A and B are shown apart, each in its own frame.
Chain A
Amino acid sequence: MTATLAPPREPGSPASASSRRLAERVFRVREFGIVAVLIVFVAITAAIQPRFLSITNIQFVLVDATIFALLALGETIVVISRNVDLSVGSVLGISAFLTAQLASQAHGLPLPLVFLAGLGIGLGFGAINGLLVSLGRVPSLVVTLATLYIIRGLDVLIVGGSQVVPSSYYPSFLTISKATVGGIPDLAIVVAVVIAAGAYCLRSFRSGRELYAIGSNPDAARLAGIPMGRRIFTAFALSGAIAGVAGVLWASRYGTVDSTAGASYELQVIAAVVVGGVAIFGGSGSVVGAAIGALLLQTINSALYVLGVSPDWDQAIAGFLLLVAIVLDRFISLRLTVSLRRRSARRGQ
């Protein structure tokens, strides 16, 4: 069909340009909001307790946050497609123990192989989640709740009462999380690059956009001929693989690994993702936002510690912030809908 159908009515009008700017602005607001909260939080804490901005403390927070940010990357990929992965904490735990054991028993092993092992372990569990959700058509909440317990159970069976202690590792394993470049932990740099790459992929590749489409309107995605099963499987496999790698980092960071490693991390990760502006019912949000969400939650933990607030408050405050984030999210999306509708009505006249 090449015929010109009708004469265009004023193409590329200024109205369309300004509306595009508005949409972009509101899109950015989500991430901008979290960054603002983060800055305010850091500023207030530092004003009360300057020690908070010491190099050691910053490094500490960054390394802790990177593990969560990494997990948040995988979780975001899953949540965007209107699913959820509750098994990330358990996958991290079992990967942490198995790779730690590898690192303490096979001393000659090159480090990349240890990471590869963690990745493989995570990928395997992620693939199981993905198969059950995409082929079995079981809601992901149920599937990953089950695998959360199953994998943790396996972990407990393997580990028993034992634990791997730092002294048994070969030294280079422990220094992974301690090396710095210009004061910034290597780990933070690597994870930042990985997250940036993830964000770029989700934005610039068809498969990434299709994940958003599936989460935004599954029925429409089916009608558009998107291979939903394959995409959702991939999302879970990626989330699992990332959790596996995070397990290696966890072992290196904390050294002592027992069967409780990563327990209840899944909820903190989901909290980070939601605080980071990813819509819990899929379709919108960004990996970068989720990573900043993870950084914010970690910063809060650390700030409460530095300020001498009892750690008993941690959870209550984290929960409160989660609520604020959700309310804010809802508010912004409502405002956005109203403004878009109003604008479209004006233009329609």
Chain B
Amino acid sequence: MGHADEAGDRRADARPGDARPGDAGRQEAGRQEAGRQEAGRQEAGRQEAGRQEPVRRAGSEDGAGSEDGADSPAVLSLRHVSKSFGAVRAVIDGSIELRAGEVHALVGENGAGKSTMVKILAGVHQPDSGTVLVNGGPTVLHGPAGAIGAGLAIIYQEPTLFPDLSVAENIFMGRQPLRRGRRIDGREMTTEADALFARLGVRIDPGRIARGLSIADQQLVEIAKALSLDARVIVMDEPTAALSAVEVARLFDVIRALRAGGTAVLFISHRLEEVFAICQTVTVMRDGRHVLTSTLTGLTAGDLVRAMVGRDMPERIPGERGAPGEVRLTVQRLTREGVFTDVSFEVRAGEIVALSGLVGAGRSEVARAVFGIDRYDAGAVTAGGRKLRKASPTAAMTAGIGLVPEDRRQQGLVMEMSIQQNVALASLSALRRAGIIRASAEHSFAADWAVRLSVKYGRLTDPVSMLSGGNQQKVVLAKWLGRRPSILIVDEPTRGIDVGTKADVHNLLDRLAGEGIAILMISSELPEVLRLADRILVMREGRLVAEFTQADGSEEGIMAAATGQLEAEAR
């Protein structure tokens, strides 16, 4: 699928310079000499990225005449946009320019701010600062309707169709062709839908209801909708995540046709080989900031990975922990159809094993199956020498497994209940006497754990919702530690919590492993993984694809495995 000829080399000469950081970057001239590749270097770290000017291209700014006749103006651009949700700064400084007839890739690690950029484009979020430009003019996109009005169409990873309505109605909702008396012309609507699918070269029955369509077909319906809107910009947020190889090829045919028709396409994908196959330009984001924009010609996947990751290497916690003890948890050839396949690993006492990979690679699903929340189709889980019953969290808990789930607000805590009630929730059987839970026992139990985990709270009887995210996470940890687990599964233990508390949680996990608990950690944050884990297992599309030890693990290596770069190179 390598379409080097697709990469628009008409602008190639102008790009390498564009990709260079601005004035600020020049002070570090030594690093600049490598031209466009510099941005891929790890040294292009946070501080520098903050000072970088976004890409400037001749002809696209200030209405200045185009120096390069072939350079089409940006139909849509975001300049220096930022967006925060409470204390979380999702996008700090994002810039991107989309041009007619160009497929533009937006890549970055999990949490780099890609999805927030898409939501700003979709009009779902208003940027806190920065500007949105449509055809060079500053614009405010008032909600989804405003974005549609500006000629934008967004195709989400999970398409948003009306399952009960027909395919044709899904395409034309709110814009149905009318006949006399403002009545919907159903026949005309079907004809037009058929024509759209014909243009896309696909066969979907416009009269059937959308329920039951495959994800790939649902995306095609969304693309047909975008076509019917005469969208000049189509944003595809990880469109290939749920597609088979055949479906991806079909989607790429459609994208090429769109491009030939003059549409600007923003293509978001974790699969770098797809980026190289279909896109002409690429923008890399990291930690909410714009890092580089460049044509893809001349770039390698390695360059992109370095640009995505490029941050200071994390300082490792010195290996104070002793050698791991006996095997506590064994997972053998665990398979759940369509979710994960043939996953085998073991975790020893006193060992932290990280399950790394991209969002959607199946990591949390494996954890849920191990803990018995979801059932699995094949394989076995053995904990403490005993095979666990399928789909039984009770069995897992009896065997000494604790699970700190990914979404603490939804799954980890009862937000309306007090801190002490939450801490005691998993240990009620130990705290009751004659079936009655004594508040005093609950209180001293919770107070004990709150001190051990240095939870910052007002009173233990305050609702847990009053705590900060980091302290809530400590409460979830305390809840499970109170059961004295021998195996602890933590899913994204530091997501959305501040740096200070994060370090607390890291130290705590390290200490717990030192005390002999076997820890299975799922984390999308590579520095965290490298800092804590003794072994790193990388999952990609439901399979374990690589294993690193603490010594040989690197962000580049893990990202390469997680994005399928390793396999691509092997081929």
Contact = CB atoms under 8 A, between A and B. Distances in A.
Interface of A: 1-13, 15-16, 19-20, 23-24, 203-206, 209-210, 212-213, 215-217, 219-226, 279, 283-284, 336-341, 343-345, 347-348
Given A209-B165, A345-B214, A8 B122 contact: no
Given A3-B260, A6-B199, A340 B173 contact: no
A314 to B, nearest CB: 33
Interface stretch (B204-212, B321-329, B373-381): B204-212
Given A216-B165, A336-B209, A347-B203, 20 more contacts: A5-B258, A9-B202, A10-B203, A11-B194, A11-B198, A19-B205, A205-B184, A209-B165, A209-B176, A210-B173, A217-B162, A223-B144, A223-B160, A224-B148, A225-B145, A226-B173, A283-B164, A341-B214, A343-B212, A348-B216
Interface of B: 122, 124, 143-145, 148, 154, 160-165, 169, 173-174, 176, 178, 182-184, 194, 197-203, 205, 207-209, 211-214, 216-217, 227, 230, 247, 253-254, 257-258, 260-263
Nearest to A20: B207
Contact of A6 (B173, B200, B216, B230): B200
A105 to B, nearest CB: 42
Contacts of A212: 162, 164-165
A12 B194 contact: yes
A1 B162 contact: no
Contact of B208 (A7, A23, A206): A23
A224 B184 CA distance: 18
A224 B173 contact: yes
Nearest to A221: B162
A4 B227 CA distance: 12
A5 B173 contact: no
Given A225-B148, A225-B174, A9 B122 contact: no
Nearest to B184: A204
Contact of A209 (B169, B207, B208, B254): B169
15 contacts: A1-B261, A3-B260, A3-B261, A5-B201, A5-B260, A11-B203, A24-B207, A206-B174, A206-B182, A209-B176, A209-B184, A223-B154, A224-B144, A279-B164, A336-B209
B415 to A, nearest CB: 19
A interface, over-half SS: helix
Nearest to A26: B209
Contacts of A338: 212
Contacts of A344: 212-214, 217
Contacts of A9: 201-203
Nearest to A204: B183
Contacts of B184: 203-206, 209
Nearest to B232: A1
A224 B174 contact: yes
B203 A283 contact: no
Contacts of A221: 162, 173
Contacts of A1: 227, 230, 261-263
Contact of B214 (A5, A222, A348): A348
Contacts of B160: 217, 219-220, 223-224
A19 B160 CA distance: 23
B319 to A, nearest CB: 48
Nearest to A222: B144
B199 A213 contact: no
A216 B173 CA distance: 12
B251 to A, nearest CB: 12
Contacts of A222: 144
Contacts of B164: 212, 215-216, 279, 283-284
Contacts of A204: 183-184
